[in-house]
Chains A and B, each alone.
Chain A
Amino acid sequence: MKRRQFLTGAAGAALISTLPTGAIRAWAQSASGVITFGQSTAVLTLDPAHGAFTGYPGGYEASLLLFDRLLDFDADMKIVPQLAESFAMSEDLKSCELKLRAGVTFHDGTPCDAAAIKFNIERMMNKDINTTNRPLWNPIAGADIVDDKTLVIRTSAPFAQLPNTLAHGSGAIVSPAAIQKSGEAGFAQNPVGAGPYMVEAFNAGQELKLKAFDGYWGDKPGASGVVFKFIAEPATRINAITTGAVDVIDSVPVQLVGQLGGNADVEVVRKPGLRPIGLAINLTRPALADVKVRKALNLAVPVATIAEKVFFGYAKAPDSPLAFDAIGHKTVGETVFDQAQAKSLLAEAGYKAGSDGILEKDGKKLTLSLYVPEGLFPGDVAVAEIVAASLKQVGVDAQITKIEKGAYWDHLRQDKANLAWDLGMFGFNPSNASGTYHLASLFKSNADDNTKPDVWNIGRYRNAEVDALLEKADSAPEEAARMDALGKAQELVWADAPYLWLQINENVSAVRKPVSGVTVMPIVFTNLRAARKA
């Protein structure tokens, strides 16, 4: 041992003896340069195909470190290059030319070249291998190698969202040699990518240990390793970060954020999500087909107060059918709480108060069945209770039916004859951040309103003008024209009020010093790719 090292060590030992035990533990950890992430969901599989990085979102969060993709989303969901140095969509939106980065290798040392990428695109196109995220991959028709640095990806129809697909988590580029070695079934437990970290040990469902990949093409990883640890209970995660047992935690329940507030070592990281929560309105009901009634419902609920009180400010009232960070979001209105106006709109629609204070029209009471799951959306039951109480104040009788969360989606997505609900709580999370994808999934007319909805247009919204605008938003050659069409579509949908819009929740994570650079992406993921441990 050299003299200087010995002295530093001795000084350190002297310092330790004066420190409280918590500080020692934190100090000991920081010295190792390994970041520990206490995740609310377990990492089960690590393959973009075969179910795509289960469990959600834990698997995706690990995949962000393990794999590189052709394109990437930055913190504001803008698309930026990653393995591709640049990309250009063709005029007809039916192909995309990508210039590939040279000299990239996978963790197993094999080259990540045009052939490897073509292999990946074709693998994800295969419906038998890639069973999830089909709407993102179905339009892709093939990949052609132009030269060893250039690749063209073709689609069967104009598909402006192709870059979103490539930047989506399922666009992770895997090592073809590793697939050959482990087989299609074995890869998910023995993943090999070209990302900044590689697998050191993987115990599915419990712990994933990653170490920095020395051969990474980009900036040197900020830590010598990252450990993903599954901690299911929120209170346990909070204890773990308070004591320094972990450096990062995700999914902090808003009512518990206060507990971290007094801790100078812990920083709360927050980001509004991409999933606006609302009550889908069943437009097949005569009473709800009247836009005045739907507007009145929206005016009757104090959404801003719900965001402020129930979610302690970690939620916001929406200003469009899309969340703030969805690509193409445009502010098209505001959430107003005005029960007097709600009452006058209902009166205009022909409703009069009956003897029990509930509004009626032609002898029929305005009684609505409100379906809500338990534990599927943040504070779902409490929010439903507040909505019901608020609607009661304007004379609308909303009866809550609480549905077990496993059975909930089936109740929502029903053929017309079996729709039991008038108002159903729902929120759509566009995993590729595309506003067009989001709006089309929810508000594009169904081919046949009597059968099950094509995607998630569960309330049977139908507006030919919106359909035309969404078509344009998907296929207009100019990006400005596409965004313009999407903006207009948001205005029309907002004005038609096919939802009782509620809140947009924030994703809340916490980071302990000295770790920095952790970001929370609007699509739920806590991203440690740029995290550093000094």
Chain B
Amino acid sequence: MPEAVARRRRRPAGRINLFLWLGATLLAAFAVLAVLGERVAPYDPTTQDLFAMLEGPTAAHLFGTDNVGRDILSRIIVGTRFTLSIALASMFFAGIGGIALGSIAGYFGGVTDRVVTGIIDLLLTVPNIVLAIAIAAAAGSSATGLTIAITASFIPPLARLVRGRVIELREEDFIAAAITVGMGHTRILLRHILPNAATVIIIELSLNAGQAVLIGSALGFLGLGVQPPAPEWGTMLGASREYLTVAPHLVIAPGIAISLLVLAFNAFGDGLRDVFDPASRN
């Protein structure tokens, strides 16, 4: 086995990083759009023109206009901020929650482990989109509601992953050494275990961010996104469904935006994995 690992490590760095660079570049571009938003959008995203509704792409409106005559490109650009911040915020909170639960369960074991894993397993039996819908319906359609919903649906799988990694690590000799010299549990967890689990967590989170974008858009599509007239990609998709056969451009623009952002997160996550965790390739 050592030979195999060594062979993998010798893989040329350039090819491995292609994904990472593609993802990072796309993400950076989306981040710029999210920050600048209204300042780079050609039109105000909420200004309507009932006499120019459902127009196909033209030079004036690159992606055409929607069912009340708003510029779709501007709505896509301004909508970036919402989708990106929901994805990042929910990954941040899911990270905190998942790490806390997973490491407590994995490190302390015994009854604690059984209780926490029991709860996690219970939540895992509910598909995360269903869980998200239930929470979003209860919390109402707002950015907070969506973030809570997506966060909650990602904590269980992440906690499971962290728990597995922590159980693996706590059997290592250096942990036994730390316990022997009388180090406290908190310190062992924070200084020795979590840093060693960090790569797997970061990779998982960046891959999950793409899923979070999809779930966020799906909830928006189902009517649980933002309050109108604020632009949000999933909501835009939902509103254009009725016009699919007469004005397909309404669906195409948000569809492309969602696909690109998901692709960006996935490529970034894959790239990260290739760089930090070559053993997990294949």
Contact = CB atoms under 8 A, between A and B. Distances in A.
| A and B part of one assembly | yes
Contact of A255 (B137, B223, B246): B246
Interface in A354-410: 372, 374-375, 379, 381-382, 384-386, 388-389, 399-402, 404
A309 B228 contact: no
B44 to A, nearest CB: 10
Given A235-B244, A235-B245, A381-B228, A374 B50 contact: no
A385 B228 contact: yes
A399 B230 CA distance: 11
B229 A259 contact: no
A253 interface: yes
Contact of B46 (A374, A379, A389, A401): A389
A388 B68 CA distance: 12
Contact of B245 (A259, A306, A389, A399): A259
Contacts of B48: 385-386, 389
A157 interface: no
A382 B243 contact: no
A306 B50 CA distance: 8
A179 interface: no
Contacts of B246: 255-256, 258-259
A57 interface: no
B50 A402 contact: no
Nearest to B46: A389
Nearest to B226: A402
A105 interface: no
B233 to A, nearest CB: 16
Given A382-B67, A389-B46, A402-B223, A309 B229 contact: no
A302 interface: yes
Interface residues of A, number: 28
A377 to B, nearest CB: 14
Given A306-B50, A385-B48, A402 B227 contact: yes
Contacts of A256: 245-246
Given A310-B67, A400-B227, A402-B141, A386 B50 contact: yes
Nearest to A379: B67
A189 interface: no
Contacts of A375: 223
Interface in B217-271: 223-224, 227-229, 239, 242-246
Contact of A309 (B51, B244, B245): B51
B135 interface: no
B96 interface: no
Interface string B64-91: 0001100000000000000000000000
A400 B228 contact: yes
A381 B240 CA distance: 12
Given A309-B51, A389-B229, A255 B239 contact: no
B223 A385 contact: no
A284 interface: no
Interface residues of B, number: 21
Contacts of B244: 235
B188 interface: no
A255 B239 CA distance: 13
A381 B245 CA distance: 20
Contacts of A404: 137, 223-224
B53 A309 contact: yes
B244 to A, nearest CB: 7
Given A259-B245, A310-B67, A386-B68, A302 B50 contact: yes
Given A381-B228, A402-B141, A253 B242 contact: yes
A199 B69 CA distance: 49
A402 B229 CA distance: 10
A305 interface: yes
Nearest to A306: B50
A310 B68 contact: yes
Nearest to A258: B246
Interface string A454-475: 0000000000000000000000
A385 B243 contact: no
Interface centre among A235, A253, A255 (most CB of B within 10 A): A255
A255 B53 CA distance: 12
A309 B50 contact: yes
Given A306-B50, A374-B223, A389-B48, A384 B228 contact: yes
Given A386-B48, A386-B68, A255 B243 contact: yes
A305 B229 contact: no
A433 B149 CA distance: 45
Contacts of A385: 48, 68, 228-229
A106 to B, nearest CB: 43
B136 to A, nearest CB: 10
Interface in B187-231: 223-224, 227-229
Given A255-B242, A385-B229, 8 more contacts: A256-B245, A259-B246, A306-B50, A309-B51, A310-B50, A381-B239, A389-B47, A389-B68
24 contacts: A235-B244, A255-B242, A256-B245, A256-B246, A258-B246, A306-B50, A309-B53, A310-B53, A310-B67, A310-B68, A375-B223, A381-B228, A382-B67, A382-B68, A385-B68, A386-B48, A386-B50, A389-B229, A399-B227, A400-B227, A400-B229, A401-B227, A402-B141, A402-B228
Lowest 4 A-B CB distances belong to which pairs? A309-B50, A374-B223, A385-B229, A400-B228
Interface of A: 234-235, 253, 255-256, 258-259, 302, 305-306, 309-310, 372, 374-375, 379, 381-382, 384-386, 388-389, 399-402, 404
